[in-house]
């Protein structure tokens, strides 16, 4: 298992940089991860992050764009504005969750 230093802490990550232990995540880690991919977090970003983390805690898998849109109530277009090109993958990365199934 690979480790990375984020905000002065050592966290466990996979070969793509996704956290492998969601309990190592906090808002400071999210800010640092977002900065790495060029995203400045706004309240809309935090709403999406909170949804996917709560959904993951309940279901045990990372939500897809379709689930975020239908269950989380965040329009697909908005997700693409918040996390351009690969919203589910980038959102999962910032939220400290595994990459959703089906993401390349």
pLDDT in tens, 18-73: 999 999 999 999 999 999 999 999 999 999 999 999 999 999 999 999 999 999 99
Domain count, the chain: 1
Instruction: Characterize the bridge pairing of strands 2-6 and 9-13.
Output: antiparallel
58 in a structural domain = yes
Q: Looking at the domain assignment, is residue 101 inside a domain?
A: no
- Cite the DSSP H helix spans in the chain: 27-36, 43-59, 65-70, 76-82, 87-95
pLDDT for residue 100: 86
Q: Is residue 23 part of a domain?
A: yes
pTM above 0.85, yes or no: yes
Query: The tokens 């900065």 sit on which residue?
Result: 35
Q: Is the pLDDT of residue 103 over 70?
A: no
Domain presence at residue 48: yes
Residue 39 lies in a domain: yes
Q: Read off the pLDDT of residues 76-101 as tens digits, 9 standing for 90 and up.
A: 999 999 999 999 999 999 999 999 87
Q: Is the pLDDT of residue 104 over 80?
A: no
Look up 103 and say whether it is catalytic: yes
Q: Which domain holds residue 66?
A: 2-95
Q: Does 102 have pLDDT greater than 70?
A: no
């Amino acid at each position: 298992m690979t480790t990375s230093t984020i905000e002065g802490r050592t966290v466990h990550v996979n070969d793509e940089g996704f956290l492998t232990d969601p309990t190592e995540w906090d808002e400071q880690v999210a800010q640092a991860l977002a900065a790495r991919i060029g995203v400045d977090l706004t309240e809309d970003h935090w709403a999406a992050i909170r949804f996917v983390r709560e959904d993951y805690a309940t279901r045990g898998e990372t939500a897809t764009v379709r689930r975020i849109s239908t269950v989380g109530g965040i329009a697909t277009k908005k997700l693409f504005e918040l996390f351009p090109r690969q919203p589910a993958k980038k959102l999962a990365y910032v939220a400290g969750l595994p990459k959703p199934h089906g993401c390349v």
